[in-house]
Amino acid sequence: MCDADGLPSGVLNAEAVTGYRTSLIALTPYLWRRHTEKIVVFGAGKQALWHLRLALALRGDEIESIVLINRTTSRAEELLAKLREENESRWKSAATMQHIDPSRSDFQECLRTHLSTADAIFCTTSATEPLFPADYIITEGKERQPYISAVGSWQPDMIELDPELLRQTTKSILPGSKAGSLLVDDREGVLHHSGEISKSKIGAEYLVEIGEVDSLAHSEVDEGPLQHWMKDGLLVYKSVGVGLTDLAASTAILAIARERGLGTTISQF
């Protein structure tokens, strides 16, 4: 971290800051949702941990189940053990927590079942192939749609979401409304770095930044199309990371550290 004159003001663990700030932004649309009973998470790293920490901290009393999908069982069980311990001492949610091993013979059938009823789906992997087919989510006559965040893939050769899922999502855009668009953290960044966007061939006109939606929501009547989409529609958020959020989070952490006398001060550094 540097000050306004470019002089070093602090050194922080970037992995911890990135995990927190990415998940914090992804949980913003999650707060808009009417339902959050069932959560499915792909991955068992820092992003998965912070997504679940924040979900439990913000709406733990509403969550009924958390299903974790990860190839390495030991990592998944380690994350769940940590989460159960923290939940018991902090949030005290009654949510059940389980890991589903992708190597099991009935994995696809099990995955389809959980995704078809999920209220929130958090994708936090560096996958190069879609984590699930679009038809596991989009089915005819389905009234309750999920919120999906995809924050793990951040380069053109990475992809977590089926491009068909994105194409189907944007088909529901209403004239004169942002409802049905793809939510992003940074429009230009996503256009140039997201594998999902390049493979689905979706243009900038279908992408809307979170800040734009939040501003518009305050000017619309309670039950307008935008509000309905934000609360109950198929809401997909794609993130590739924004440097400014690292700056904001790090500045706040350094201020807290100084206030509490934490860390190590190096004179004349």
**57 belongs to a structural domain:** yes
Residue 43 sits at φ, ψ, to 5 deg, of 110, 160
3-state secondary structure at position 108: helix
**114 belongs to a structural domain:** yes
**264 belongs to a structural domain:** no
3-state secondary structure at position 14: helix
Q: Average pLDDT of 47-52?
A: 96
Q: The whole model's pTM is what?
A: 0.90
**245 belongs to a structural domain:** yes
Q: Residue 97: CA atoms inside 13 Å, Cβ hemisphere, count?
A: 22
Letter string b/e over residues 114-135, b meaning 16 or more CB atoms within 10 A of that residue's CB:
bbeebbbbbbbbebeebbbebe
**115 belongs to a structural domain:** yes
> How many structural domains compose the chain?
1
**257 belongs to a structural domain:** no
Q: Rank 106-115, 144-153, 175-184, 241-250 by mean pLDDT and report only the highest.
A: 106-115
Residue-wise pLDDT tens digits, 125-158: 999 999 999 999 987 667 789 999 999 888 889 9
Better pLDDT: 133 or 17: 133
Tell me the residue type at 180: G
Q: Which domain holds residue 164?
A: 14-251
**2 belongs to a structural domain:** no
Residue-wise pLDDT tens digits, 52-87: 999 999 999 999 999 999 999 999 999 999 999 999
The per-residue pLDDT for 17 is: 87
Which residue matches tokens 């190839």? 71
Query: Using CA of residue 29, residue 204, residue 178, residue 115, what is the dihedral sign?
Result: negative
| CATH number for the domain that contains residue 158 | 3.40.50.720
**90 belongs to a structural domain:** yes
